[in-house]
Amino acid sequence: MRLRHLIALLPLIAAGGAAAESDNYVDIARGKALVTAGDCVACHTAPGGTPFAGGLPLQTPFGVIMTPNITPDNATGIGNWSANDLARAMHEGRRPGGTYLYPAFPYPYYTKVSRADVEAIYAYLRSLPAVSNSVNRNTLPFPFNIRLSMSGWNALFFTPGTFAADPKRSDEFNRGAYLAEGLGHCGACHTPFNAFGASKASQYLRGNQIDNWTAPNITNDMHAGLGKWSVDDIVQYLKTGQTRFSLASGPMKDVIENSTSKMPAADLKAIAVYLRERGAAGSPAPVPLASSDPRMQAGEAIFTDTCSACHMRSGAGVEHMFPKLAGNVVATQDDPASLIRIVVAGGRAAATDERPTSPAMPSLGYRLDDDEVAAVVTYVRNSWGNAASPVSADTVRALRSKVTRVGE
C-alpha cells in the first residue's frame, strides 16, 4: 500500500509506451539520483523541450549532433531497449544492432559505471512518461556521418571497462573517483581534446576550452588548479555555485543547477577528496606582468572605473555576490576565454533555492573595445598576486565574434 503511494509521487503518467515495469521504488529512486549525477537531462533535452525527450543540437568539432529521445517511447525513444542494450550503449558506445554511437555521448567515461548502477538508471528511465519526439540522428556532414569509422576511433582512443577501485586509496577517494570518472564525466569538458575529439589521457583534468568557455584545470595544482581550495570549498562550489573565491557561471553553472546541487553531500565530498588527492599537474606560474606595462596601466584605469564597484580595488569581491579576482583560478588559466567572454557578454551565477539571487555580471562588450578588454583582462590576470599570460586584442576580437552572434 505504502509503496504504491510513494510511487504516486514520482512522474509515472503512463500515457502510451511501456507501463512502469518495476515496482521497485528503491531502484527507481537510486536510478534517479544516478541520472542526476550523470546530468543526462542537460544533453537529452531540447531548449524549451520536454526533459529527456532529446532534440538538443550538440556542437562538436565535426558538426552538429542531435541528442536522442531517451524516454520509453517505442517509436521515437528507447522504449524497446532492454537493460543489456543500455549497458552496451554506456559501456561500449554501441546501439542495439551494433551501430556505433558518437562520443558526444561520453561513453568513454560512462564505461566505468557498474552494471548494477546501469540497471538502476534503466529502471528510472523506464519510469518516465513516454514522449513522442522524433529526432534526426543523422546530421553530421560527410565523412563524419559514417558511424562505422567510430570503430577505428574506439580502437585508438577508447578502453572499455567498469571502474576498478584502487586498494591503496581510501573508500571515500574511490567513491569520488567512481563518480567523477564515470557518471560525472568531468574529464569530458576539463580535459583537452586531441585532433580527433578524444580526451588526451595524459592531460586529464588539466583544463580545456569548450564552446568558447574555459573549463579550468581541476587538478590539485597550486597555481593553475584547485590547490588553494579546501575540500569544503569544492563541496560548497558544487552544492551552491559559490565559494569564498568564486561564483560559477557559464556551462558549469548549469551543471550545478541541474546536477551537483542535487547530489548528496557525502558524494560531493568524495568527489572533492578525489580531486584534491589525485595529484597536481599544471604549467609553472609565469612572472606577473609589471604594473608599469602600458597594458597594465590602461587595465588599471578601466578596472578602477568600471569593475571596482563590484570586485573592489583590492580584487576581493563580495561574498555570495561578486567573485574574488585575487587568486581566482579561472582568471589565471592559460586559456582566457571565460574571462574575455564574461566581460564582453556578461554572465549569471547559479540560482538555487538557498541562494536565489544569481547575481549577474553585466555585459560590457558595447562599452569596451578589443584593446580595452585585452587591457583589463590582462590587468586582472596579473594583479594582487595573480600571474598569467597577457591577452592580445586579436584574441579578444576572435572570441568576441563567437560570443556575440545573434541569438547566442
Q: Which residues bind other proteins (CB under 8 A)?
A: 9-11, 13, 50, 129, 294, 297-298, 301-302, 304-306, 308-310, 313, 318-322, 344-348, 351, 353-369, 371-372, 375, 403-404, 408
Closer residue to other proteins, CB minimum distance, 148 or 290: 290
Compute the distance between CA of residue 39 and CA of residue 106 in angstroms, rounded to an integer: 11
In whole angstroms, the minimum distance from the beta carbon of 345 to other proteins comes to 4
SS3 242: strand
A 10 A CB-CB count for 48 gives 6
Closer residue to other proteins, CB minimum distance, 179 or 345: 345
In whole angstroms, the minimum distance from the beta carbon of 116 to other proteins comes to 26
Of 190, 187, 276, residue with least CA distance to 233: 276
Q: How far apart are the first and last CA of the chain?
A: 50
Residue 315 main-chain phi, psi, to 5 deg: 70, 15
Does residue 286 have a cis peptide bond before it, meaning omega lies within 30 degrees of 0? no
> C-alpha cell of 349?
551565477
Which element (helix H / strand E) includes 255?
A: helix 251-258
In whole angstroms, the minimum distance from the beta carbon of 369 to other proteins comes to 5
Determine whether 19 is exposed, middle or buried from the number of CB atoms within 10 Å of its CB (0-12, 13-18, 19+).
exposed
In whole angstroms, the minimum distance from the beta carbon of 352 to other proteins comes to 9
DSSP state of 69: P
Closer residue to other proteins, CB minimum distance, 200 or 397: 397
Closer residue to other proteins, CB minimum distance, 16 or 197: 16
Say if CB 83 and CB 122 are below 8 A apart: yes
In whole angstroms, the minimum distance from the beta carbon of 406 to other proteins comes to 9
In whole angstroms, the minimum distance from the beta carbon of 338 to other proteins comes to 13
Closer residue to other proteins, CB minimum distance, 139 or 306: 306
In whole angstroms, the minimum distance from the beta carbon of 362 to other proteins comes to 4
Closer residue to other proteins, CB minimum distance, 347 or 390: 347
Contacts of residue 185, defined as CB under 8 A and 6 or more positions apart, other chains included, come to 38, 106, 109, 110
Closer residue to other proteins, CB minimum distance, 11 or 167: 11
Helices (runs of H) and strands (runs of E) counted in the chain = 17, 6
